[in-house]
Amino acid sequence: MHSKFNGVKGILLKQPYTEIATRCGMFVSETNTDYRGELLLCSAAARYNTVQLKKKAGMYISDITGSMHVDDMEVGCTYALCKLVDVLNFTHVTRDMINRMMVKEVSCQDHVFVIEDIRRVVTVPFTGGTKGLWNMPEEVINSTRVIV
């Protein structure tokens, strides 16, 4: 079966950062890549708790997500399909970008992935993947449906 999403790369993010990426159009990763194109954001099976978020972002979950509670955010699944249009070295990251991504800082190992054309998908359970970008399994790609 040939899918229109063949060749899609995937990346795992912990909640609430999967949700934040879909809202602000960027996220932090230690991964660097020359890849540009379709990217499937997947929500990791684990999520940050209040203490971890306070340390990472310097704020409470409600400050980040508004009325949406992190416990209500889907985990262990596909989350959104988007286009990866740029990967910025930490030296090109502004304070405004850092604030929008809800992190305290970006370290010298970090890169900022800039995404566009963000489309939520009907979630498919998924807990695979490794650190960084990887090719999405064909069965996950073929099950992915964009919410219209």
Give me the domain span that covers residue 39: 9-146
pLDDT for the residue numbered 65? 58
Q: Establish if 4 belongs to a structural domain.
A: no
Say which residues have a Cβ less than 8 Å from residue 68's Cβ, sequence separation at least 6: 16, 19
Q: Establish if 104 belongs to a structural domain.
A: yes
pLDDT in tens, 33-68: 999 999 999 988 887 776 776 666 655 555 555 666
Q: Which two tokens stand for residue 28?
A: 């932090």
pLDDT in tens, 19-36: 889 988 999 998 899 999
Say which residues have a Cβ less than 8 Å from residue 6's Cβ, sequence separation at least 6: 138, 141
Taking the C-alpha atoms of 25, 43, 128 and 33 in order, what is their torsion angle to the nearest 10 degrees? 20
The CB density around residue 58, as the number of other CB atoms within 10 Å, is 12
pLDDT in tens, 85-120: 999 998 898 888 888 887 777 888 889 999 999 999
- What CATH number is attached to the domain comprising 123? 2.30.130.30
Q: Establish if 1 belongs to a structural domain.
A: no
Q: Considering its fold, how many domains does the chain have in total?
A: 1
Q: Establish if 68 belongs to a structural domain.
A: yes
Residues in a beta bridge with 81? 40, 119
